[in-house]
């Protein structure tokens, strides 16, 4: 049984073949500063700096090269859409697709430093005057069809379609400012809905272009919108259901109308246990990342027992503590625990919970992948 067949069985909550392993998209990538050391630890040749490709400008994570993906035994290959409407401000700053300003001090990470719609007292004025990106920009998909077609026809890798950068809520928060938009939904709900509507429609139009180009080749599509913090949700459940859920639901429905075979992997960091039922309801097939450093998600056995026959899980290998501070033996035990807890009954793809940063020793990553391949096969014998 090949990888794509195993993926389909995994998504039907069956224990078939093995637990699949993923790495390499927006939130399971590697920071550029630690990428050379990871390659060295895996015995791979050094790359000239100009051959290291940046995947995510904000996080400064890279596109993992094929030799590393093979060395780690990764079952997925990700198609990455091109960033459109990016405007360089100076050597340390850029404006993203929607016009929000990001800046770095040392090249490590770009932080949001200006929310351009915050200057407008009324959201309706911002909507009327703002210069919106062209959702049909052909650069979004330039070169992607050939790449996806080659992977589909010449390999058995599961082809993932990485998300168009940003999410509906995230974009609104960046445009208005986090504090301002959270106030907006209280003091100007009509304007907030209008902004959410506009952003949702733009994403729907962009995903139409994207999926018309590569949708037939993909098995999984990644969406993102962080809805949780370390110890709480970003907003109340009622506000989520009024201001976020309807728009996420429309976007997912639209994507599935264009590519009915596509499985939706939805990324949201943080404490989001109260949202899982809602995410299932709107068509999310896979929850990423199962952030096990969050108290309410530590008990992955209970999580799987409650939801594991209705939604698949992706991630679970903690990058905030376990992979930084654990011994090799502790890492192996953590791999076994998450495989057993979440892989029982199928419906689990193991990966790091987020990007790999320079505080994670490369040797710990090597040990993690060795342990995964030691224990991933069904039936479990540990």
Mean pLDDT of 207-226: 98
Which pLDDT value is given to residue 23?
A: 97
Token digits for 288?
A: 């990423």
Reported as type and span, the H/E element at residue 348 is strand 348-352
* ∠ CA 295-245-61, rounded to 5°: 60
Residue-by-residue DSSP string for 285-326: -EEE---TTSGGGS-HHHHHHHHTTTSEEEEEE-TTTHHHH-
* Percent share of the chain, pLDDT over 90: 99
Mean pLDDT of 193-215: 99
Measured CA to CA, the distance from residue 24 to residue 78 in angstroms comes to 7
Q: Are 347 and 285 in contact (CB under 8 A)?
A: no
Q: Which residue has the tokens 């790449």?
A: 147
Per-residue pLDDT band for 273 (boundaries 50, 70, 90) equals very high
Q: Which residue has the tokens 């000239």?
A: 48
Reported as type and span, the H/E element at residue 189 is helix 189-214
Residue 65: asked if its preceding bond is cis (omega within 30°), the reply is no
Mean pLDDT of 120-130: 97
Which pLDDT value is given to residue 109?
A: 95
Residue-by-residue DSSP string for 10-45: HHTT---SB-EE---STTS-EETTTHHHHHHHTTPP
Helices and strands (DSSP H and E) totals, the chain: 15, 15
Token digits for 75?
A: 């079952």
C-alpha to C-alpha distances, 111 to 163, 220, 265, 304, nearest whole angstrom: 20, 29, 25, 35
Mean pLDDT of 111-116: 98
Which pLDDT value is given to residue 299?
A: 98
* 127 CB-near residues (< 8 Å, 6+ apart): 194, 195, 198
Mean pLDDT of 262-268: 98
Reported as type and span, the H/E element at residue 266 is strand 263-267
pLDDT tens digits for range 336-373: 999 999 999 999 999 999 999 999 999 999 999 999 99
Q: Which fold has domain 3-85+124-375?
A: TIM Barrel (3.20.20)
pLDDT tens digits for range 287-338: 999 999 999 999 999 999 999 999 999 999 999 999 999 999 999 999 999 9
> Which DSSP category does 162 fall into?
P
Which pLDDT value is given to residue 232?
A: 94
Q: Are 62 and 30 in contact (CB under 8 A)?
A: yes
> DSSP 3-state assignment of 154?
helix
Nearest one of 273, 289, 293, 379 to 334, comparing CA atoms: 293
Per-residue pLDDT band for 1 (boundaries 50, 70, 90) equals very high
Measured CA to CA, the distance from residue 53 to residue 221 in angstroms comes to 21
* 61 CB-near residues (< 8 Å, 6+ apart): 26, 29, 30, 31, 32, 54, 55, 355
pLDDT tens digits for range 51-71: 999 999 999 999 999 999 999
Q: What is the CA radius of gyration of the chain?
A: 20
Indicate if the alpha-carbon torsion angle 244, 179, 186, 171 is positive or negative.
Answer: negative
Beta bridge partners of 286: 265, 312
pLDDT tens digits for range 147-170: 999 999 999 999 999 999 999 999
- What's the mean pLDDT when you consider all of the chain? 97
How many CA atoms, within 13 angstroms, populate the side-chain half-sphere of residue 322? 24
> Which DSSP category does 228 fall into?
B
Measured CA to CA, the distance from residue 234 to residue 268 in angstroms comes to 11
């Amino acid at each position: 049984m090949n990888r794509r067949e195993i993926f389909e069985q995994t998504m039907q909550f069956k224990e078939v073949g093995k637990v699949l392993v993923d790495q390499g998209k927006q939130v399971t990538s590697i920071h550029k500063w630690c990428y050379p050391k990871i390659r060295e630890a895996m015995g791979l040749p050094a790359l000239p700096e100009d051959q290291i490709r940046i995947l995510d400008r904000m996080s400064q994570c890279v596109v993992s090269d094929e030799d590393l993906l093979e060395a780690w035994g990764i079952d997925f290959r990700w198609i990455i859409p091109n960033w459109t409407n990016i405007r360089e401000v100076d050597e340390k700053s850029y404006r993203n697709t929607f016009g929000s300003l990001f800046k770095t001090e040392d090249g490590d990470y770009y932080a949001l430093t200006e929310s351009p719609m915050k200057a407008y007292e009324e959201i309706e004025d911002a909507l009327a005057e703002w210069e919106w990106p062209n959702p049909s920009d052909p650069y979004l998909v330039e070169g992607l069809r050939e790449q996806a077609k080659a992977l589909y026809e010449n390999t058995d890798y599961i082809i993932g379609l990485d998300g168009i950068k940003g999410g509906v809520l995230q974009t609104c928060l960046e445009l208005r400012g986090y504090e301002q938009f959270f106030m907006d939904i209280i003091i100007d709900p009509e304007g907030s809905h209008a902004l959410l509507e506009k952003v949702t429609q733009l994403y729907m139009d962009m995903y139409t272009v994207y999926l018309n180009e590569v949708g037939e080749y993909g098995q999984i599509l990644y969406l993102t919108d962080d809805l949780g913090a370390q110890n709480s949700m970003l907003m109340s459940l009622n506000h989520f259901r009024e201001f976020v859920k309807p728009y996420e639901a429309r976007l997912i429905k639209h994507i599935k109308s264009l590519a009915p075979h596509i499985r939706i992997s939805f990324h949201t960091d943080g404490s989001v246990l109260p949202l899982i039922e809602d995410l299932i309801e709107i068509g999310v097939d896979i929850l990423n990342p199962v952030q096990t450093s969050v108290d309410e998600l530590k008990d992955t056995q209970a999580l799987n027992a409650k939801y594991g026959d209705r939604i698949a899980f992706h991630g679970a290998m903690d990058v905030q503590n376990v992979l930084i501070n654990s011994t090799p033996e502790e890492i192996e035990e953590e791999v076994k625990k998450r495989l057993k807890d979440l892989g029982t009954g199928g419906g689990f793809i193991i990966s790091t919970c987020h990007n790999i940063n320079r505080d994670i020793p490369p040797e710990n990553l090597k040990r993690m992948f060795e342990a995964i391949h030691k224990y991933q096969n069904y039936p479990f014998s540990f």
